[in-house]
Every structure is written in C-alpha cells, then in structure tokens.
C-alpha cells in the first residue's frame, strides 16, 4: 500500500510540476512562446513578431527584463512545425502565441494545459481548436481572421475592377491547413460570374506549371487563398502575374504591398495587438476559457496602381476612389 501511494504521489508530482514551475516564475521572469507557420526571414512574419513585441512592451512585458520570448518558425513545413511545437512546450512557457491554424493545431497536439493565444485562424470551431466562440472551454482562444461570407468579396472586386475576367485560379498550398469553407464560399460566389479553378501548389515548380497553364487561356485572374504562401513563392506568383498580365488579389494587405493588384481584408496588425492584450490578461491570471474568440470588425480595400500599370490594366477611377489605401 505504501509503495502504491508513493508511486501515485510521484505521478501527481510529475503532472503538477509544470503548474508549479509557472507559479514559481510568477514573481520573476515570465516566458512566452511564439510559434509561426512561416519562415523567420519572411518580412511579413518579422512584422507580426515586431508588432507583438512592441505591444507587449507597452503593456509592461519587457523582453530581456521581466519577460523571455522563445520564437520558433515552421518555414511552411508541417513536420518542422510539429517538432518546434513539441520543443516549445518542453520549455514550459506561461503562454504560447500561435500564428495560423496549422501552428495552433500543432501546439494543441502537444499540450492541453498551457494557454494558447492564436492569431489568423479561419474557423476555430470547425477546426477543432475551440468548442465555442463565446466560451472556448479549453486552453486556446484568440483572433480569427476570416469570415466565410467575405470570401466571395474577392471575386466581386475582381469583376468590378476588371470586368473581362471570366476565370480565376484559387492558389493555395494543400500541405498547409486550408479553411475549406472559405474555398467553398469563393466558389459559390464565383459560380454565376466566373469559373473558379482550385489550383494547389506545393513548390516553385508546381507554381510555374500551374500559372503558365492557367494563363494559356484569356481573361484569367488569380486569388491567393490564406494561409499565405512563403515569401519566395509569393514573389514567384507576382512575377508570373506580371509576365502573363494576370490581375491578382488576396485577403492579405501585405500581398498588395508586395506587388499584387489588390487586397481586401482585415488589418492584421490589429490582431497581433489584440493577441498581446490577451497574453497580458493570461499572465495576470485570466482563464483562457473566459476570453472569447474575437472577429475582425473592419475590412480594407487596397489597390496597387503600380501593379495595374505593370500588367497593362487601367482601373476605373470610381473603383480607385472606393479604396481605403492606394499604392502609386
């Protein structure tokens, strides 16, 4: 009996250790893990990390002072992402911030106790990340970036800006978690006006073959479906879009800034500022299950006139006047 009680006591102590370790750190340095699907050298990922760091600092969490931040990058490799998730959980952080559904799912496979604050997750309920948007009822909550209902807006905007468009290629990486409802909503919106063609691409060779083949017929356009391709692959798509005179749109603002024709979607910096506020609340004792999943409330249309000129396109003046931001 004593031996069984001793073993049971060891089991309890092992299970309680992470909680005890975090409690012990409460008065000193707090540890924040960050897990990104993207690559460390991707300028967009760097921007999001910078916004998060700056926002945390404004809330009093100073890296190198009372806070340590451990960053891991998946570089669009699911296996590497899972390995990094395991490594981060092994560091026993007080909270983990995940960038994308793929990163969030990787982290949740490794822990059901460490709080996870996610950003850029399309549908956290259908993806099995939370049970409820109002009360997540688990160890994860955060900020969703997509409404399925706005997915069709990309099709609508393309047709308004370029009425001749009759075909759209939906560009995405099938090896990364894809928000199926988002794809379906684009196809539904496109059904009466354009032919939407799912175009899965995994690497540069597949991108070149797919875009070249698509461009062989006239009146085409490209829609880049989240999560975003890697920086180098985005740049390749943009070069091919110019080469084949293809208008291209994405829900991600940085795509237009990098050279795409248009973007329509939320301000992603706001998500990371919001994530920092949730991290702050968790570090001060809030329960993740009491923090509801947040939705975007503002959407911005960005038009890149330099890109329009590069593909020989004239955007109607009335359309340009509707834009929240114009890149010239």
φ/ψ of 71, rounded to 5, equals: -105, 140
Q: Is 225 left (phi over 0), alpha (psi -120 to 50) or beta?
A: beta
User: Is the per-residue pLDDT at 262 higher than 80?
Assistant: yes
Specify the residue for token string 């001060």: 284
Least confident of 143-152, 282-291, 312-321: 143-152
What integer pLDDT is reported at residue 178 of this predicted model?
64
Q: What is the three-class DSSP state of 271?
A: helix
What integer pLDDT is reported at residue 3 of this predicted model?
38
Domains and CATH numbers, the chain: 28-145+268-290 (3.40.50.2300), 148-265+300-327 (3.40.50.2300)
pTM: 0.83
Please report which helix (H) or strand (E) contains residue 262, including its range: strand 262-265
What integer pLDDT is reported at residue 177 of this predicted model?
63
- What is the pLDDT of the chain when averaged over all its residues? 88
- What average pLDDT does the segment 127-153 reach? 85
Residue 155: closest CA among 221, 205, 203, 99: 221
pLDDT digits 0-9 by tens, 266-284: 888 899 999 999 999 999 9
Q: How many CB atoms lie within 10 A of CB 257?
A: 15
User: Is the per-residue pLDDT at 10 higher than 50?
Assistant: no
What integer pLDDT is reported at residue 307 of this predicted model?
97
CA quadruple 262, 266, 267, 273: dihedral, nearest 10: -160
Supply 20's token pair. Answer: 């005890």
User: Is the per-residue pLDDT at 264 higher than 70?
Assistant: yes
Q: How many CB atoms lie within 10 A of CB 9?
A: 10
User: Is the per-residue pLDDT at 20 higher than 80?
Assistant: no
- Identify the band that residue 149 occupies on the pLDDT scale cut at 50, 70 and 90: low
CA torsion through residues 65, 49, 46, 297, sign? negative
In angstroms, the first-to-last Cα distance of the chain is 79
Supply 141's token pair. Answer: 């909550």
What integer pLDDT is reported at residue 147 of this predicted model?
62
Residue 163, class by beta-carbon neighbours within 10 Å (0-12 exposed, 13-18 middle, 19+ buried)?
exposed
Residue 219: closest CA among 260, 158, 171: 158
pLDDT digits 0-9 by tens, 236-255: 999 999 999 999 999 888 89
What distance in Å separates the CA atoms of residue 307 and residue 178, rounded to the nearest whole number? 27
Supply 298's token pair. Answer: 């503002």
Residue 253: closest CA among 263, 261, 245, 243: 263
Q: What burial letters (b/e) apply to 133-148, b meaning 16+ CB within 10 Å?
A: eeebebbbbbbbbbbb
pLDDT digits 0-9 by tens, 61-74: 999 999 999 999 99
140-144 and 116-121 as β-strands: parallel, antiparallel, unpaired? parallel
pLDDT digits 0-9 by tens, 80-125: 999 999 999 999 999 999 998 899 999 999 999 999 999 988 888 8
- Identify the band that residue 27 occupies on the pLDDT scale cut at 50, 70 and 90: low
Kindly report the three-state secondary structure assignment for every residue of 182-204. Answer: HHHHHHHHHCCCCEEEEEECCCH
Q: How many CB atoms lie within 10 A of CB 236?
A: 18
What integer pLDDT is reported at residue 252 of this predicted model?
86
- What average pLDDT does the segment 219-223 reach? 96
What distance in Å separates the CA atoms of residue 312 and residue 98, rounded to the nearest whole number? 40
Supply 185's token pair. Answer: 């909503």
- Identify the band that residue 24 occupies on the pLDDT scale cut at 50, 70 and 90: very low
- Identify the band that residue 186 occupies on the pLDDT scale cut at 50, 70 and 90: confident
Residues ≥6 apart with Cβ < 8 Å to 182: 122, 123, 146, 148, 151, 225, 226
Share of the chain above pLDDT 70, in %: 90
Q: How many CB atoms lie within 10 A of CB 14?
A: 9
């Amino acid at each position: 009996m004593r031996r069984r009680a001793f073993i049971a006591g060891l089991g309890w102590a092992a299970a309680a250790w992470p909680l005890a370790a975090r409690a012990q750190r409460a008065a000193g340095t707090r540890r924040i893990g960050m897990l990104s699907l993207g690559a460390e050298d991707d300028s967009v990922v760097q921007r999001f990390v910078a916004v998060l760091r700056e926002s945390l600092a404004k809330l009093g969490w100073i890296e190198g002072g009372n806070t340590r931040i451990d960053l891991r990058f998946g570089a669009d490799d699911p296996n590497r992402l899972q390995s990094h998730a395991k490594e981060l959980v092994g560091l026993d952080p007080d909270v983990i911030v995940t960038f994308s559904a793929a990163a969030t799912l990787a982290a949740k496979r490794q822990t059901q106790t460490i709080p996870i604050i996610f950003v850029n997750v399309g549908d956290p309920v259908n993806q099995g990340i939370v049970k409820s948007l109002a009360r997540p009822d688990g160890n994860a909550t955060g900020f969703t970036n997509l409404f399925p209902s706005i997915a069709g807006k990309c099709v609508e905007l393309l047709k308004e800006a370029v009425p001749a468009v009759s075909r759209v290629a939906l560009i995405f990486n099938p090896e990364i978690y894809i928000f199926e409802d988002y794809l379906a909503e684009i196809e539904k919106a496109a059904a009466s006006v354009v032919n939407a063609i799912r175009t899965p691409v995994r690497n540069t060779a597949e991108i070149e073959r797919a875009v070249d083949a698509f461009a062989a017929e006239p009146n085409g356009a490209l829609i880049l479906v989240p999560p975003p391709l890697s920086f180098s692959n985005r740049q390749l798509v943009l070069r091919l879009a110019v080469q084949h005179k293809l208008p291209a749109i994405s829900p991600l603002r940085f795509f237009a800034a990098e050279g795409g024709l248009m973007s329509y979607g939320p301000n992603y910096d706001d998500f990371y500022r919001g994530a920092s506020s949730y991290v702050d609340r968790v570090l001060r004792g809030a329960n993740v299950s009491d923090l509801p999943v947040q939705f975007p409330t503002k959407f911005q249309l960005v038009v890149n006139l330099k890109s329009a000129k590069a593909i020989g396109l004239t955007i109607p003046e009335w359309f340009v006047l509707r834009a929240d931001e114009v890149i010239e």
